[in-house]
Structure 1
Amino acid sequence: MKPFVLITGSSSGIGKAIAINLSKKYNIILHGRNAERLLQVKEECSSEHSSLIWQSDLNSVESLEESLIGFLKENEIIIDYYVHCAGIMRMLPLKSHNIRSIQETFNTNVISAMLITKVLSSKKWNKDTLKSIVYISSNISNRGAKAFNTYAASKGALDALMRSMAVELAPKIRVNSILPGAVMTEMTQNIFENEEVEGRMKATYPLGFGYPSDIADGVDFLLSERARWITGQQLTIDGGRTINITG
């Protein structure tokens, strides 16, 4: 039986592209909050392998472990690979945030990743089968930008988690993260709709903006045996943005 891959945030954007791409070689678990959109993605996935749906809100961290354990039991499956792509990005100055918006960002971007990793790396709940984890971070996790305070902080925390988990879970489980640059998705649509902002950003990307498929290919590589000796690493896929220091 082909192994299962869990992809959080797979109802749209990068997560959707990852799920469709991985469905060509793995059984997949589509995760998201919107059942209708998840069913639409399922229709686009390869019919050669199984596609299951785990509908849950990652902001509900108190019940998240119970929800995932229940899903594993109900479907009588084990998960070999985990991709955490779910994320919230709000471009706001810090003065416009409140505890609710900050907590929701961290719950979805970081805390849920910790809890899911805890369940999937458990011999009791997942029979010691997990092989590889990829967290989808951001190239802003190592840098700074106005109005990205909470999002950047959460992605920085996600990368710190990745490094610690890579050491803690070795040698059985490899853990890496991918740091995308500006990828054209529903979440970033408001940025690209502003012509002034788009033009200013585009000038800093030597290879132009990216597409979800660029990130999906990176995930495919990191999950595979071709990356068997890679763990604890940040793979930046951003069209050269972070190495461009042109004035």
Structure 2
Amino acid sequence: MGSRLAGRTAIVTGAAQGIGRRIAEELGTEGADVIVADIDAAAAADTADEFESSGITATAVECDVSSMADAERLVERTVEEFGSLDILVNNAGISRGERFQDITPEEWQQVMDVNLNGVYNCSVQAAPEMAEADGGRILNISSIAGQNISYEGPANYTASKWGVIGLTKHMAWDLAEYGIRVNALCPGGTLTPLIEELTTPEERSETREKIPLDRWAEPEDHADAALFLVSDRSSYITGTTLTVDGGLTLGIRHEV
């Protein structure tokens, strides 16, 4: 167990599995009290129990980030449970639909409500608590799709992740006076349940061949980067976008 985040309280949304789970575990291992927030209450509870058994202080909270009321309850529960809120990791995300021309209005709105509005909902509830405590850290999980397009996901996913980066930069500008740092993390291809659901083994192999470091990312690759961005080691960094993609977006191995 480390101590870089000792005495801090962190919310991680979408923390029951995948990248969010691994980030939550990393923050807890470094001493933070962790709120495991997820729309899947049972999965969140199981994750929190597993964290507790390994020595991490964790509490599960059911939360649909697309609901402002749920976001408000999430922050209130965190402060009631641990007395403060120092770190918010907006990780919850979904992908719905296929080609742009086939995306339904309902699929478009659902992805925007979770991936982009969810970041706003949780952040706007968390910011006053952080400001009152003279500072905090917000980390928004975007994607390399927010810098180009998603090769495995649809257009609404791409649009939402571009929006997360823009929102991150403006939040960083507006919240700096309160000592709140806001950054974005852009994962590349990562072996998570969502990716395995959306792609075939053949598609994943084709993507891997385009990655200069010659492998898909694992959730811990992003957890390491997240820890840096919410710790004191990045105390002079705000409004930045950190890409963790093994060099995929360099394009040096893409066919032209």
**In 2, Cα distance between the equivalents of 1:209 and 1:102?**
28
- Deviations 1:108-159 (CA, angstroms, capped at 9, x unpaired): 1111211211111115x97335411111100011112465200010000000
* Displacement of 1:49: 4.4
Gaps of 5+ in 2: 1-5
AA partner of residue 109 (structure 1): N
AA partner of residue 127 (structure 1): E
Aligned to 2:19: 14
Matched, 1:210 2:217: yes
**In 1, Cα distance between the equivalents of 2:72 and 2:149?**
36
Aligned to 2:40: 34
Aligned to 1:241: 248
Query: For the Cα contact (< 8 Å) 2:131–2:180, is it kept in 1?
Result: no
Describe the SS at the equivalent of 1:122.
helix
* Displacement of 1:73: 5.8
**In 2, Cα distance between the equivalents of 1:87 and 1:64?**
16
Matched, 1:176 2:183: yes
AA partner of residue 149 (structure 1): A
Query: For the Cα contact (< 8 Å) 1:120–1:130, is it kept in 2?
Result: no
Matched, 1:156 2:162: yes
**In 2, Cα distance between the equivalents of 1:76 and 1:211?**
30
**In 1, Cα distance between the equivalents of 2:97 and 2:219?**
20
Q: Structure 1 residues 179 and 66 mapped into 2: Cα distance closer, same or farther (>3 Å)?
A: closer
* Displacement of 1:48: 3.8
Q: Structure 1 residues 74 and 27 mapped into 2: Cα distance closer, same or farther (>3 Å)?
A: closer
Gaps of 5+ in 1: none
* Displacement of 1:240: 0.6
Aligned to 1:222: 229
The percent identity for this pair of structures is: 27
Matched, 1:188 2:195: yes
AA partner of residue 247 (structure 2): G
Aligned to 2:3: none
Aligned to 2:89: 83
Aligned to 2:203: 197
- Deviations 1:194-247 (CA, angstroms, capped at 9, x unpaired): 233122211111111000000000000101111011111110000110013333
Query: For the Cα contact (< 8 Å) 1:20–1:41, is it kept in 2?
Result: no
**Aligned ranges for residues 54-133 of structure 1 at < 5 Å?**
54-61=61-68, 63-72=69-78, 74-75=80-81, 77-123=83-129, 127-133=132-138
Moved more, 36-45 or 147-156: 36-45
The Cα RMSD (Å) is: 2.0
Query: For the Cα contact (< 8 Å) 1:81–1:130, is it kept in 2?
Result: no
Q: Structure 1 residues 59 and 17 mapped into 2: Cα distance closer, same or farther (>3 Å)?
A: same
AA partner of residue 131 (structure 1): G
* Displacement of 1:67: 2.3
- Deviations 1:40-99 (CA, angstroms, capped at 9, x unpaired): 2113325544211221212334x2344235424643622100001100123511222222
Matched, 1:136 2:141: yes
* Displacement of 1:190: 2.7
Describe the SS at the equivalent of 2:36.
strand
Give the 4+ runs in structure 1 shifted more than 6 A. Answer: none
Q: Structure 1 residues 65 and 144 mapped into 2: Cα distance closer, same or farther (>3 Å)?
A: closer
**In 2, Cα distance between the equivalents of 1:35 and 1:240?**
36
